[in-house]
Amino acid sequence: MNIDTLLLARWVIPIEPAHTVYENYAIAIHNGRILALLPQSQLDNYHAQTQVSLQHHVLMPGLINAHTHAAMNPLRGYADDLPLMTWLQEHIWPAERKLVSPNFVYDGSLHACAEMIRGGITCFNDMYFFPEQTARAVELAGMRAVIGLIMIDFPSAYAQNAKEYLHKGLQLHDQLRSRQLLTTAFAPHAPYTVSDAPLQEIATYAEELDIPIHMHVHETAAEVEQAVAQQGIRPLQRLHQLGLLSPRLLAVHMTQLLDDEIALLVRQGVQVLHCPESNLKLASGFCPLHKLMRAGVNVGLGTDGAASNNDLDMFGEMRSAALLAKAVAHDARAADAESVLRMATINSARALGLEDHIGSLEANKAADIIAIKLDSVETLPVFNPVSQLVYATGRQHVTDLWVAGKQLMKDRQLITLDSHEILSKVNEWQHILVTT
């Protein structure tokens, strides 16, 4: 059988079935999809146009960054070591008023795509202004993404009011409907920045269009306290009353959760997107990951934006998620390596409604695949490759990456993007920020 590509590796971690590691296996790829996973001794029936030998590597599904603000990459390190609302109100929002434009979003998103590809991320879920520019950058990079249809009550360079945000979001959804690698989600910023009427409209449209709702929820104790003082109820309860709690809701952060709220999430099927490093850096609190997992809530994993993290490193995020969960639960068995790896792959795919296409290496799924080299000083010896990926491996060990069978990085070199041009643009934006 003539096929496009054969990838041969020391280990293949398919994610599904769970608790599975194949040794000396190969992946057959044709027309952008996985045909088969099979032992290297059984390849006689396949004749590949391209064959890649990766005998010191793990092959696994591409990582899925379930929550980002990609265009904020030029703000990396701009206002560090501050609490969330001080960081937002006194630094980030004023900087955005100076900078945000279609060109800023496009250049920042290209920078983020380059960083994510080099870190083994094949798909990300985004929320930011001028989302059509992020979509344009993603298509140039060749990545997969869920493009957030941003909503906020406040005027910005992108839109003046909720009605205009919604109109532009619906237009973009229609424009992207036929794109193979792009889908959309409504992206109301947070309960404290979006009022009731727009949220109810979003709930109605999300049901009609069958797309998710991506939103910061219960990020800090102050947010919850302010909501109770102003509205008499906690934000999650308000969202429930407005009809937003369902499997469509991707609730980001969730550091402030009561036990009865976790039970509510289970009943309504809400998905949680965990961003441990951003929460730690902004001192926002601790998402009760072990309780959520034990209750059966689907939890995906994200980095947040480079302005608050300060990187788009899913290997670091996996390690932080595992270690933090153990400390919070006082249980070394909480959030084991296998569970955290699933959070960064199939769980995030499920949250985004993409589990039929990505998140695991299975026949007929898209060939979104990464190769990670484990023969370095930092990664040897390898007793358990799953544990090694979570606790010892860094994003610098990702050597190759494919999306829908197309190679976007080879031997650490970007194929679809010009890193020199990207960095030149980032330097220009830095100069603009510090001189205006």
| pLDDT at res. 360 | 98
Instruction: Enumerate the CATH 3.20.20.140 domain ranges in the chain, comma separated.
Output: 68-351
Q: For residues 1 and 3, what is the distance between their CA atoms, to the nearest angstrom?
A: 6
CA angle 197, 199, 205 (to 5 degrees): 105
Which positions of the chain have pLDDT values less than 50? none
Check residue 411 and give its pLDDT.
97
d(CA 329, CA 313): 24
Q: What pLDDT is stored for residue 353 in this prediction? A: 97
Domain 68-351 part of CATH 3.20.20.140 = yes
**Cβ(117)–Cβ(401) under 8 Å?**
yes
Neighbours of 100 (CB within 10 A): 20
Distance CA 359, CA 273 (A): 15
Residue 116, number of CB atoms within 10 A of its CB: 29
pLDDT at 200: 97
Structure tokens at 188: 């109301």
The architecture (CATH level 2) of 2-61+369-403 comes to Roll (2.30)
What count of other Cβ atoms lies within 10 Å of the Cβ of residue 43? 16
The confidence score (pLDDT) of residue 97 equals 86
Which pLDDT score, from 0 to 100, does residue 119 have? 98
Please tell me the predicted confidence (pLDDT) of residue 311: 97
DSSP 165-199: HHHHHHHHHHHHTT-SSEEEEEEE--TTTS-HHHH
Tokens of 369: 């695949």
Q: Locate tokens 């490093």: which residue? A: 277
- 3-class SS of residue 68: strand
Q: What is the predicted pLDDT for the residue at 433?
A: 86
Given a contact cutoff of 8 angstroms between Cβ atoms, the answer to whether 117 and 408 are in contact is yes
Q: How many CB atoms lie within 10 A of CB 297?
A: 22
Sheet of 398-403, strands arranged across: 33-39, 22-30, 2-12, 47-61, 369-373, 398-403, 406-410, 413-414
In the structure encoding, which two tokens stand for residue 261, read together? 């709220």
The CA distance from 366 to 5, in Å, is 13
With the C-alpha atoms ordered 45, 46, 51, 52, is the resulting torsion angle positive or negative?
negative
**pLDDT score for 434:** 84
The confidence score (pLDDT) of residue 85 equals 82
Domain with CATH 2.30.40.10 in the chain: 2-61+369-403
Q: Count other Cβ atoms within 10 Å, centred on residue 267.
A: 10
Q: What is the pLDDT of residue 79?
A: 86
Q: Give the strand order in the sheet containing 249-253.
A: 63-68, 121-126, 144-151, 182-188, 213-217, 249-253, 271-274, 299-301
Mean pLDDT score of the chain: 96
Comparing C-alpha atoms, which of 182, 70, 88, 167 is closest to residue 127? 70
Distance, CA of 267 to CA of 50 (rounded, Å): 48
Residues 338 and 50: their CA atoms lie apart, in Å, by 31
Looking at the DSSP bridge assignments, the partners of residue 371 are 59, 400
Tokens 């370095």 label which residue? 376
Res 83: pLDDT: 82
